[in-house]
Structure 1
């Protein structure tokens, strides 16, 4: 009777060890609960092996210690027990292999999700920096096409001014970093682009505010006076009553400005677009060409009233 109980206990111990192994495989081995689960599974396997060894030892010694009647009365199905134990071992091995495969697949999927999340985070960071970069370029572009801004804040177009030179250098560095980050989204490249745009924002605010405070005061007094006259005439260029008035005002603006300050080419093209129809000398159908004295005299009179003394 004792060997039968031992064999049943051994079978139950093997089943308990198998269940503990499945539970340990289902948990992450890096956590505290996972480590405890593997320790319990190991303890169950040690106990199952010990019970199985004791059962086998008792079964092999009982026939030699008793007589033939006892040997015939106590005969254990060792073959069946061995088949059950072998089946359990095979099931446990297959379960462990399956659990390891499932865990490996889950880890690969988790790594893939983390990589995708990291790529999305990097792309969102790049998009944010690009938005800030474009905002500065839009503000600077608005200045480049504004002829009046070039007259009122000439320091913003003068590379000899330290603040302007710093902004120009930061703008070039930011453009280079933007091109570089397009070809590779490495963390170092993204960080370098972020730093370049941060420097661009700071240098732009400093250069813009400094040019606004400085105005034309750093120029010679005669140049400042000419630019002040040209600034007043720009209003006539933009809103003159006739084409000839606007064209004559623009010609006087060009003579006043001359080469005293640097005016962006985009600003020149933008203001010339307003007076381009009237800039030529006039064709056969131009009434101003047929009576030039009358049109120009009226324009000069209006300009004389608009120009400060």
Structure 2
């Protein structure tokens, strides 16, 4: 009986140590989370080590109080606890304290790392959202400007928007180039320049509004009177170019428009191509003869056009 009790107590102590170790491993695995399960796991780990220390204390005390095998069976050993027992108890308590400290440090480190990653992710999302918003504003201006570029009538009625000698237009052209460059830089990963891209697009929006309003306000009045009269006549003929009854009529009207416009104002090439698509059948080799005949039949009108100043 004197041998059985220490063995059982030693077995219980070993199981308590294994349980504490298992609780420690589980607490470490859950240390990255801040859930209630992780907190309970840390508490179980600390409690497990404290319980293991108490079981070891009880085991050592009982072993010390049991009679030795070599002496009298009814005689009990001294009730004083050996220093070795005190040392083991102190070591067990110290282990529990160390485990608690290590778990606390690990948990705090994991929380700091997780918070830092969360902040970095939020900052990245904020940057991407700002880039997307700025890009949408940039595209909106380019859409409006593109619609102007393909409109031949806009070149005749608002020529200032195609004239780089106009200060408002020159400012818009410069802002458009700067915004395109900033967008290209951000697209290639220089996200620290997002603010510069945002400012460039803001300047683009303002300069476009100013240039567009100025061109609409002055119209063709800022040009020489002779040029203004030719552009007005060309604008009237554009109705025939777009809605003429026959292909030859549209082609002939377009020829007269080009002769009237000449080099007086700048017409974007894409606008010319858009109009030429309407009159291309009559401008091909098969339709040139018919176009010449129609041109000769309208000789009087052509002479009047040549007489315009």
| Superposition TM-score tier, normalisation by shorter sequence | 0.5 to 0.7
Match of 2:153 in 1: 148
User: Does residue 162 of structure 1 match 2:167?
Assistant: yes
State the SS of the aligned residue for 2:249.
helix
Q: 1:158 and 1:82, CA in 2 relative to 1: closer, same or farther beyond 3 A?
A: same
Residue 146 to residue 244, structure 1, CA distance change in 2 (3 Å): same
CA distance in 2, matches of 1:247, 1:95: 91
Write out per-residue CA displacement over residues 109-139 of structure 1, whole angstroms, 9 at most, x where no aligned residue: 2211221111111011001000000000010
Q: Give 1:276's match in structure 2, choosing from 276, 280, 297.
A: 280
Partner of 1:216: 220
SS at 1:218 equivalent: coil
Q: Which residue of 2 aligns with 1:265?
A: 269
Per the TM alignment, residue 102 of structure 1 is displaced from its structure 2 partner at its CA by 2.3
Do 1:244 and 1:295's aligned partners in 2 also have CA atoms closer than 8 Å?
no
* Residue 171 of structure 2 is aligned to residue 174 of structure 1: no
CA distance in 2, matches of 1:299, 1:272: 23
**2:168 touches 2:214 (CA, 8 Å); kept in 1?**
yes
In structure 2, C-alpha distance between the alignment counterparts of 1:256 and 1:290, rounded to whole Å: 22
Task: Please state how far the C-alpha of 1:296 moved relative to its aligned partner.
Answer: 6.4
2:226 corresponds to 1:232: no
Match of 1:228, SS?
Answer: helix
Matched, 1:123 2:109: no
Retained in 2: the 8 A contact 1:244–1:299? no
CA shift at 1:98, angstroms? 2.3
* Residue of structure 2 aligned with 1:108, choices 105, 113, 116: 113
SS in 2 for 1:241: coil
2:282–2:291 contact (8 Å) kept in structure 1: no
Give, in angstroms, the shift of residue 262 of structure 1: 0.4
Separation (CA, whole Å) in 2 of partners of 1:163 and 1:201: 13
How many residues are aligned here? 228
The 8 Å contact of residues 248 and 294 in structure 2, kept in 1 or not, is answered as no
Q: Which runs of 5+ in 2 are unaligned?
A: 1-30, 32-76, 305-309
Residue 156 of structure 1: CA displacement?
0.2
Contact 1:236 1:249 in 2 (8 A): yes
The C-alpha deviation readout for 1:255-274, integer Å capped at 9, x for no partner, is: 11010000000001100110
1:254 paired residue number: 258
Distance 2:169 2:187 in 1: 27
- The structural deviation recorded for 1:190 is 0.2
Aligned pair in 2 of structure 1 residues 300, 190: CA closer, same or farther (>3 Å)? farther
Distance in 2, matches of 1:264 and 1:197, equals 23
CA-CA distance at 1:77 after TM superposition: 5.7
The alignment's TM-score, normalised by the length of structure 1, stands at 0.68
Helix, strand or coil for the counterpart of 2:95?
Answer: helix
1:1-309 alignment runs, 5 A limit: 75=80, 78-187=83-192, 189-280=193-284, 282-283=285-286, 289=289, 293=293, 297=297
Deviation of residue 295 (structure 1)?
8.5
- Tell me if the contact between 1:240 and 1:246 (Cα under 8 Å) persists in the aligned partners: yes
